[in-house]
Amino acid sequence: MLKRLTFAAMLSLGVASVALAEGERHGGTLVFTAPYGSSFATLDVQASPNTQEEFITQAIHRGLYSWDSIGNKPVLELATAQDVSEDGTVYTYHLRENAVFHNGKPLTADDIIYSYKRIASPKNAFPGASFIAVIKGADDYIAGTAEEISGLRKIDDHTLEITYTGPINPGFPLMQNTTVIYPSNVEDESVFGKDPVGLGAFVFKEHVPGSQVVVEKFDKYYEEGKPYLDRVNIVLMAEDAARDVAFRNKEIDVSVLGPTQYQAYQGEEALKDQLLEVAEVYTRNIGFNPAYEPFKDKRVRQAINHAINAPLIIERLVKNKAYPAAGWLPISSPAFDKDKAPYDFDPDKAKALLAEAGYADGFEFEVTASPNESWGVPIVEAILPMLQKVGITVKPKPVESSALGEAVTTNNFQAFIWSNLSGPDPLNALRCYYSKTAQSACNYTSFANAEFDKLYEAAQQERDPAAQNDLLRQANNIVQDEAPVWFFNYNKAVMAYQPWIHGLVPNANELAVQPYEEIWIDDTAPASRK
Amino acid sequence: MLRFTLRRIFQIIPTVIVVALLIFVIFSVVPGSFAASLFADGRRAADPQLIARLNEEFGLDKPVIERFVAYVSDLARFDLGTSFRTRQPVIDLINDRMWASLQLAIAAMVFALVIGVPLGFLAALRPGSVLDTVTMVGAVSGLSLPQFWLGLLLMYLFALQLNWLPSFGYGDGSFRNLILPAVTLGVTPLALLARTTRAGVLDVLNAEFIRTAHSKGMSEMKVVRWHVARNALVLIVTTVGLQFGSLIGQAVVIEKLFAWPGIGSLLVDSVAIRDIPVVQGTILIIVLWFLVINTAVDLIYAAIDPRIKQE
């Protein structure tokens, strides 16, 4: 059915979804897996930047915007319409009049103002503060020098005016897990962490720490006829192997697959047609520190890109669960340049470039790497012999994931291997190569290129999406040419699902996060799910 | 007996203090921080302002000595601190999971005791028999099998093939959910108990007082019940104590594999993201558990064998 879906095939998925919608069935229990750890950090999702808590958000909460996986863009969620000023900085939102919180309170502009102030409060140190910072006056509020966020203005209960700091697309920052809307009539805020209240399609029912969160259908949800399911059990399952057994045993309805399982499932008749795939917005790469002498020369960085046979590693080690990277922006980015080819594997060209740069005899460098199978030590070990052939000696420096983050953000590395967010917003993704972005923010390779900066600044001011994407496409091509990183691959996320499950979407931001209100279960499901 | 008991209990205190200090020192020097771990999966760009705010909120920007003083003073008030990740008291997080850990440890130990001790006993009474050989081969295998692999094997067999048991999770806390993780966890202590019991019983069977008992005309049953079992008990209790004490710590792998919500998986997650108060609190509770069990074993020794109390 939804076999082998790539981003290019999204349109056909849209057709498939419409066709499926004709047979939708109400009722049943979905057993969904949260694979990113053995616990939920908190039920107060505004406080958590983790993907793990997004599973809860999808069920219980809503933000001003949400992500449309089919259209591949943010869309209005809690407002039915928005008016935008000529300069693109002032948005007037006409809020949904039928949206009600689980505690019975109707949504008003006060709730949005309350939520954004809570997220940005200097007392809280919440991760979403940087997203709220796109609102005028938020920086002063975050710093504790203002009592209010000046860019937030209530016109009436169902009309809200937001002034932004520039002509940005506010959908990206305000659709985040950490910027969802809470009711303003809850006096004790500790309730949000124990008994969450939101505007979502499901009501919180139970949390068994370390085991699962259970949610049930909210009868007053604002989308008519939704959700289809009566109940969703979001179970914690961090181990790939255990998830595999549970999925085959039909104890869980979906399972996110790793490379080995992906290969195995593709070879099994009963499973190969039950795979949903998407090119996610992450770029795996080896970042070079220009403070290390050999990496100052662009030819050396390009030589490394030519010396490594990335498609071979993707095939053998990553089991084809990735797409070769042709630059920083991934396939699912609206600014992706489909005509731009990845660096070709050409060791002779690599040797020539190294000789030109004065490194004919090669050199040695250290790669800080986590144990991750898809973008860690195993990959560094795979490139080792390839680079050795052009005279470069690579030494892996294994560290834990949290130590990797610290090493990179403190500029304490010669090179690092990582998987980094490169979408969905191309403007935000390329911010990491803008010379005014701090190294510790996300300009990890201390990239500075005047031509890139010029294009990026022009894109920042450009309000026409097509023209903006064109500028960003050019900027992205500069990044590719300058090769501040070895462009390895874009992650292909794969989810296996049971044949009775319908309504899953190819969410390029994070495939494991699905809109539960769209999912339904057909009659072929086992009795425990109906 | 009271003095003996008090002495044993007071010995726990310096051990806990040393362990607490060691944990603090170790996690003060290892690389990585909670704030950096938030960006470790690369799913979001690093935010230096957030890192600074978090370090300030959790006091991580203060000198080590100052943090150490705060840690010790909190500990002296039995305050394990607040989790960086959840912002909840550490003791609440541990409480949420302690019962699941105890369930798993107790069930695994009962499984090991009920099967391991009788098997070891019977093997010792019939040395060289088929039962003895099978028991010892089984015991060596049980000690050698990696728990993770054994767990997967049991999952495959009893969940996927036979469909008798759920393969994962706590469910509603039912006994069915407990069986597979408890059996997986219990195999190692079972093997150890079978071997120890066999060795202990064989040792007693060769003692002079057993020959004396036989020569006095005591029946085999009475000799085993009154002399062999009682004398072998000290060794069995020692093994049970050591194994039971360490089961909660050993359960880490099993909890991860079976998605069992115990404190082992809490510890692993907390180490990965450098949620130091939770790491410190969880390790302390595991150590305390081990010490309490060992103290209880010491007291049981004294009750079983009065010579120990006199020593």
Tens digits of residue pLDDT in A228-273: 999 999 999 988 889 999 999 999 999 999 999 999 999 999 999 9
Q: Residue A15 burial by CB count (10 A; 0-12/13-18/19+): exposed, middle or buried?
A: exposed
Average pLDDT on A138-152 reads 96
Q: Which residue out of B27, B29, B44 would a mutagenesis test of the A interface target, given it has the greatest number of A Cβ atoms within 10 Å? A: B44
pLDDT score, position B44: 83
Distance CA A265, CA A3 (A): 12
Q: How far is CA A305 from CA A219, A474, A489, B192, in A?
A: 55, 20, 12, 54
Contacts 24+ apart (CB under 8 A), A83-91: A87/A167, A88/A166, A88/A167, A88/A168, A88/A463, A89/A136, A89/A163, A89/A164, A89/A165, A89/A166, A89/A167, A90/A161, A90/A162, A90/A163, A90/A164, A91/A161, A91/A162, A91/A163, A91/A164, A91/A170
Tokens of B242: 């050591």
Alpha carbon B231 to its chain centroid, in Å, reads 26
pLDDT at A297 over 70: yes
Distance CA B186, CA A172 (A): 50
Q: State how far residue A66 is from chain B, nearest Cα, in angstroms.
A: 17
Please say whether the beta carbons of A148 and A121 come within 8 A.
no
Please say whether the beta carbons of B217 and B260 come within 8 A.
no
Each residue's pLDDT tens digit, A348-358: 999 999 999 99
A418 and B CB contact within 8 Å? yes
Q: State how far residue A316 is from chain B, nearest Cα, in angstroms.
A: 23
pLDDT score, position A477: 97
A510 vs B contacts (CB less than 8 Å): 43
Distance CA A80, CA B38 (A): 34
pLDDT at A36 over 90: no
User: Which range, of A335-349, A366-380, A488-502, B238-252, averages the lowest pLDDT?
Assistant: B238-252
Distance CA A335, CA A50 (A): 26
Percent of chain A past pLDDT 90, that is, above it, reads 88
Amino acid code (one letter) for A456: Y
Q: State how far residue A518 is from chain B, nearest Cα, in angstroms.
A: 25
Closest CA to B121 of B247, B230, B263, B273: B230
pLDDT score, position A8: 42
Q: What count of CB pairs under 8 Å joins A to B? A: 183
Closest CA to B34 of B15, B57, B14, B16: B57
φ/ψ of A254, rounded to 5, equals -140, 155
> Do B257 and A251 lie within an 8 Å CB cutoff?
no
> Of residues A475 and A123, which shows the higher confidence score?
A475
- Portion 115-134 of A in contact with B at CB < 8 A: 122, 125, 127, 129-130
A36 vs B contacts (CB less than 8 Å): 41
Please provide the average confidence, as pLDDT, over all residues in chain A: 93
Distance CA B135, CA B121 (A): 10
Query: Which band of pLDDT confidence, cut at 50, 70 and 90, is reported for residue A315?
Result: very high
Query: Which band of pLDDT confidence, cut at 50, 70 and 90, is reported for residue A7?
Result: very low
A168 and B CB contact within 8 Å? no
pLDDT at A421 over 50: yes
pLDDT score, position A378: 95
pLDDT at B204 over 80: yes
The 3-state DSSP class for residue B262 equals coil
Q: How far is CA B289 from CA A86, B102, B185, B301, in A?
A: 67, 10, 17, 18
Average pLDDT on B55-84 reads 90
> Do A42 and B87 lie within an 8 Å CB cutoff?
yes
pLDDT at B310 over 70: no
> Do A210 and B262 lie within an 8 Å CB cutoff?
yes
**Sheet containing A79-84: which strands, arranged edge to edge?**
A79-84, A90-95, A159-163, A152-156
φ/ψ of B37, rounded to 5, equals -65, -25
Average pLDDT on B191-210 reads 87
Name residue, tokens 């130990």.
Answer: B109
Closest CA to B181 of B261, B119, B240: B261
Percent of chain A past pLDDT 70, that is, above it, reads 96
pLDDT score, position A15: 35
Distance CA A233, CA A253 (A): 10
Average pLDDT on A406-433 reads 95
> Of residues B174 and B119, which shows the higher confidence score?
B119
Query: Which band of pLDDT confidence, cut at 50, 70 and 90, is reported for residue B311?
Result: low
Please compute, for residue A12, the number of CA atoms within 13 A of its CA located in the half-sphere on the CB side: 10
Tokens of A473: 């496409």
> Of residues A52 and A78, which shows the higher confidence score?
A78
pLDDT at A217 over 80: yes
A431 vs B contacts (CB less than 8 Å): 45
Q: Residue A300 burial by CB count (10 A; 0-12/13-18/19+): exposed, middle or buried?
A: buried
Tokens of A199: 């505007």
Preceding omega of A173 cis (within 30 degrees of 0): no
A420 and B CB contact within 8 Å? yes
Q: State how far residue A405 is from chain B, nearest Cα, in angstroms.
A: 5
- Portion 225-254 of A in contact with B at CB < 8 A: 235-239, 241-242, 245-246, 248-249, 251
Please say whether the beta carbons of B274 and B34 come within 8 A.
yes
> Do A235 and B49 lie within an 8 Å CB cutoff?
no
Percent of chain B past pLDDT 70, that is, above it, reads 98
Closest CA to A300 of A187, A211, A219, A415: A415
A242 vs B contacts (CB less than 8 Å): 152, 155, 167-168, 257-259
pLDDT score, position A18: 39
A38 vs B contacts (CB less than 8 Å): 255-256, 259, 261, 265-266, 268-269
Instruction: Please determine, for the modelled complex, whether the ipTM score is greater than 0.85.
Output: no
pLDDT at A188 over 80: yes
Each residue's pLDDT tens digit, A386-418: 999 999 999 999 998 889 999 999 999 999 999
Strands (E), chain B: none
A407 and B CB contact within 8 Å? yes
Distance CA A485, CA A483 (A): 5
B159 vs A contacts (CB less than 8 Å): 245-246, 249, 251
Percent of chain B past pLDDT 90, that is, above it, reads 36
> Of residues A426 and B226, which shows the higher confidence score?
A426
Query: Which band of pLDDT confidence, cut at 50, 70 and 90, is reported for residue A10?
Result: very low
pLDDT at A304 over 70: yes
Name residue, tokens 């910072």.
Answer: A133
Distance CA B83, CA B254 (A): 24
Q: Which residue out of A249, A408, A488 would a mutagenesis test of the B interface target, given it has the greatest number of B Cβ atoms within 10 Å? A: A249
User: Which range, of A179-193, A420-434, B245-259, averages the lowest pLDDT?
Assistant: B245-259
The backbone region for A95, taken as left when phi is positive above 0, alpha when psi lies in -120 to 50, beta otherwise, is beta
B93 vs A contacts (CB less than 8 Å): 209
Largest CA distance in chain A: 72
**Cα dihedral A489→A493→A494→A500 (10° resolution):** -160
B274 CB neighbour count, 10 Å cutoff: 25
pLDDT score, position B205: 83
Beta bridge partners of A398: A369
Please say whether the beta carbons of A167 and A461 come within 8 A.
yes
Query: What's the start-to-end Cα distance of chain B, in Å?
Result: 12
A30 and B CB contact within 8 Å? no
**Does the pTM of the predicted model rise above 0.95?**
no
